[in-house]
Structure 1
């Protein structure tokens, strides 16, 4: 059985070695990079199961690296955990909206980081099982494998999080989900993201879906659901 391969990116040598040592001890194959430029080069040259990415990097910063990884077909589906010294919600939300799957705030426990890595890779395996799903309505097609959405035969460009929310809701038409359930399903458990953050994503998603925006219904006082077709 092949070892799961993880790319760790940090410009601080002691942190890089700390993360590498603990992940190797857990049985992972670890490759290290010390800059955003090097990370992009390495990530595009081999397959990785996970990328642990520092937010504050010289040159190309972590947020830009994450965005470039998500924009590249070779790397767009690799899960990302961001390391950040910033604990403010705005920075956390920015990282998640850029496409990160999880984050760990410095200083951190190596055991916590390892646990997060395992959880993210488990979630990714589950999403892979759903990758063949194609959800169709008369005027909306959601292709999970290609991460593409078509509204009345026109492809619509959604952000990483917008697609995740749409796919999550549309898998269970008619089911009502709270904002917390949506956050947990899209990003994992216990993210410090406010209800308002979900509302903002829904507003943007409806706008991009145009005439199909009404498929996402607000259940006042509870949350949201995907319209159940008759």
Structure 2
């Protein structure tokens, strides 16, 4: 057997062992909604899961670390706690985000900058902190939770759409910087998802949204979670810099 082939087999065997043994996974904003479904999916797969949160309860079986992604000091403290309990973060899911929806002419500069600081700069902060451990391990998975509005656009969401579109640039630049270190970075872009937020929408608004979705329904949080766990797994180890829509055909590749 040639040395190159032998090395490849050993690397594949090591990856399989790592997956079976469970990885250190961190999901930001992982105690509710889509983030909770993602965290639960990794936990069900045998991984050691930690979540950051600002309020609410910590999901059973997970390590909860209180942290605001707009604070580098809080992020560093959270990672230090996770590393002490679970080891270096091997899978990072940057999910934490906020909305401040309003039309352009009514949108204040604070409405814009707060959303960008949380959704985009917040992702930068956690990615930068996680990459240090991943580079030492020479492996890692970064998954950025974006939105169909990132490339499709949405009225009243100039701030949100801009912040979510920026995640594509992070993933693709990170891929070019760290791809040779065994680190992948991908974007998952959900459309409308059945969460408490969409459940609270007026019935007419829900019907209008549903009429635009070729699938004729909203996604479940679990459907988004399954895509995230797949892209973070060994079967997707040769995929990086991709944008994967989970939107029932709404965006049509935009």
Where on the TM-score scale, by shorter chain, does this alignment land: which range?
Answer: 0.3 to 0.5
> Whose helix proportion is higher, 1 or 2?
2
The structure with higher relative contact order (CA 8 Å, sep 6+) is: 2
**What's the TM-score once normalised by structure 2's chain length?**
0.30
Q: TM-score, normalised by structure 1?
A: 0.32
More strand by share: 1
